[in-house]
Structure 1
Amino acid sequence: MRTMEHLLSIIAALLYCSAISMIIPGLVQSTGIKIKLVFVLAALAITTHGWLLSDLILNPYGQNFSILNVASLISFIVCLTLSLAMLKTRLWFLLPVVYSFAVINLLAATFLPSTFLTHFDGKVELLLHITIALFAYSTLSIGALYALQLAWLDHKLKAKKALTINPNLPPLMMVERHLFKIILIGTLLLTATLLTGAIYIKEMFDPENAHKAVLSFIAWALYCILLWGHYRQGWRGKKVLWLSISGTTLLTLAYFGSRFVREIILN
């Protein structure tokens, strides 16, 4: 079984790297990118990645939701979402980033020891809460990537470097529109996460879990302020970037912080 997992991990990593190698020259040299070939490579990588995750997570004794498996699962969701969006939107600046993180996460999940068994049998509410939380975090992570891309494009334009000659880069206003739609969806999902947690997770406010709830709520408040500031006050630029990055950082600390110490450092 471990040999199969190692093989799937290496195959997925190579496919992701192949997709990256087809994108980078187009960004650097402003040449055409073979969209269909990149999509096929990405589809094969994501399929193999999903197959690997099913082997890593599904366990005869429960579901192995270790921190490394969850990180790889989030990378899978982000890669799947952006790869599908690739067909309609020029995401070439973001795809090498998310594919690189996917390679790191899936190799770590396969080759580094980490176990955290969860039992969802008869716990539909817990499964619902975790599913919404995963999609909320993935969506807001994509929002943070869009914010970084928006800041980079804005910097280049202000530096008077012509971006229009590179057909692989998206228009600034289109990136901004997509950014706020993504953050709005992610904030709604985060709201649902907090509500389902408060209703169904009795241990949510216990001392060992309270920091997760507090950090998640602060992140939710930041995203609400960001959306209010944009739609009511017209906020753009650095305010949006820092609020988006801060929100994602707080969510990362809420979920991964203590678990990283317990599962990786202490082990």
Structure 2
Amino acid sequence: MLIVYLLTVLFYLGIGVNAYCKLVKKTPIKRPVLLGMLICGAILHGFLIVPQIITLHGLNFNIYNTLSLISLFFLVFFIIFSLYRPILSLGVLAAPTALIGVSIGYFGDVFGKAHYQPLTELSTLLQVHILLSFAAYCVLLMAAVQAIILRLQIRELKHKTIHRFWVSKLPSLQSMESLLFDMILLGFVILSIALGLGLLATYDVVAQHVAHKLLFSALSWVVFGVFIAGHYLAGWRGKRAANFAIYGFILLAIGFVGSKFVLEFLV
């Protein structure tokens, strides 16, 4: 697996360096080449993480594998959004994120000591819930990153900065806002379905140690729901949209990653 990991690292480094050089030199990105590298990196990442999760003892979603899988979904959704939005330049951020995730998963599997009991005999409903939960977290993670970039662009425009890196080198503010709305709406829909299936599959919230996770996920769902309503009814956008995306994801991260950390390391 070391060879697969090193190949994955090389692809992710190549994507990041390529995107960065194109941004600095202000030259067009070769779309087929970069998309091809992204797809190859994602395939290798998947080949590496699947055996770590699907084991003979059940599904191993320890914190290391979880972060690695989230980064993989992050990359997959980035590729999907790149097919219809001019955002390939954001590969300068997507590739390092995936690189960090796959590294955490690989080295966590080799050296980590997370006390995690693999999941066995899962119902179809629960399996779908887990899959959709990961998908929702990834899309909303992308929305949070997108929101940070959007805030940086707004700041440069507001303060009339001379050297406008975020404004001049990345897609237009309007394109970035549209992409943020796409991400939030998609993430909200997936999260809604995941929460609904989770409630149906959960028979004892306390005994199954999901009370804190459910609480923070529900709070995050409310935050995103309020923003979507405000966006369509009152035209909320710009900095306010970015803030909602960031705060909503923080709540989601506390509920998901925070609960896993407590259960695996502190309990």
| TM-score in same-fold range (> 0.5) | yes
> What number of residue pairs does the alignment pair up?
262
Query: 1:150 offset after TM fit, Å?
Result: 2.1
Could you state the TM-score of these two structures normalised by the residue count of structure 1?
A: 0.88
Report the counterpart of residue 132 of structure 2 in structure 1. Answer: 132
User: Do the aligned residues in 2 keep the contact of 1:219 with 1:250 (CA within 8 Å)?
Assistant: yes
Superposed CA deviations along residues 173-225 of structure 1, whole A, max 9, x for unmatched, are: 12212221221121121111221111111133548321111111111111111
Could you state the TM-score of these two structures normalised by the residue count of structure 2?
A: 0.88
What CA distance in whole angstroms lies between the structure 2 residues aligned with 1:63 and 1:102?
A: 21
Query: 1:162 offset after TM fit, Å?
Result: 8.3
Report the counterpart of residue 141 of structure 2 in structure 1. Answer: 141
Query: In the alignment, is residue 12 of structure 1 matched against residue 19 of structure 2?
Result: no
Report the counterpart of residue 215 of structure 2 in structure 1. Answer: 214
User: Do the aligned residues in 2 keep the contact of 1:135 with 1:189 (CA within 8 Å)?
Assistant: yes
Report the counterpart of residue 158 of structure 1 in structure 2. Answer: 158
User: Do the aligned residues in 2 keep the contact of 1:226 with 1:240 (CA within 8 Å)?
Assistant: yes
- 2:196 counterpart letter in structure 1: L
Moved more, 68-77 or 94-103: 94-103
Query: 1:110 offset after TM fit, Å?
Result: 1.2
Query: 1:11 offset after TM fit, Å?
Result: 1.4
Structure 1: 5+ residue stretches without partners: none
User: Do the aligned residues in 1 keep the contact of 2:212 with 2:259 (CA within 8 Å)?
Assistant: no
Report the counterpart of residue 90 of structure 2 in structure 1. Answer: 94
- 2:45 counterpart letter in structure 1: H
What CA distance in whole angstroms lies between the structure 1 residues aligned with 2:183 and 2:103?
A: 28
What CA distance in whole angstroms lies between the structure 1 residues aligned with 2:6 and 2:266?
A: 27
- 2:20 counterpart letter in structure 1: I
Superposed CA deviations along residues 93-148 of structure 1, whole A, max 9, x for unmatched, are: 53222221211121121112246343353511110111111111111112222222
Alignment of 1:1-267 (within 5 A): 4=1, 6-112=2-108, 113=112, 114=114, 116-121=116-121, 123-160=123-160, 169-206=170-207, 208-263=209-264, 265-266=265-266
**Percent of matched pairs sharing the same residue:** 28
Superposed CA deviations along residues 11-63 of structure 1, whole A, max 9, x for unmatched, are: 10111011111000122231222222222222211110010011211111111
User: Do the aligned residues in 2 keep the contact of 1:205 with 1:213 (CA within 8 Å)?
Assistant: no
User: Do the aligned residues in 2 keep the contact of 1:94 with 1:149 (CA within 8 Å)?
Assistant: no
What CA distance in whole angstroms lies between the structure 1 residues aligned with 2:40 and 2:178?
A: 30
User: Do the aligned residues in 2 keep the contact of 1:89 with 1:170 (CA within 8 Å)?
Assistant: no
User: Do the aligned residues in 2 keep the contact of 1:223 with 1:244 (CA within 8 Å)?
Assistant: yes
The SS at the match of 1:94 is: helix
What CA distance in whole angstroms lies between the structure 1 residues aligned with 2:115 and 2:94?
A: 24
Structure 2: 5+ residue stretches without partners: none
What CA distance in whole angstroms lies between the structure 2 residues aligned with 1:54 and 1:208?
A: 25
- 2:47 counterpart letter in structure 1: W
Moved more, 232-241 or 80-89: 80-89
- 2:4 counterpart letter in structure 1: L
User: Do the aligned residues in 1 keep the contact of 2:57 with 2:120 (CA within 8 Å)?
Assistant: no
User: Do the aligned residues in 2 keep the contact of 1:120 with 1:126 (CA within 8 Å)?
Assistant: no
For the aligned residues, what is the CA RMSD? 2.5
Query: 1:73 offset after TM fit, Å?
Result: 0.8
What CA distance in whole angstroms lies between the structure 1 residues aligned with 2:142 and 2:184?
A: 9
- 1:184 counterpart letter in structure 2: L
The SS at the match of 1:51 is: helix
User: Do the aligned residues in 2 keep the contact of 1:90 with 1:168 (CA within 8 Å)?
Assistant: no
Query: 1:81 offset after TM fit, Å?
Result: 1.6
Moved more, 19-28 or 145-154: 145-154
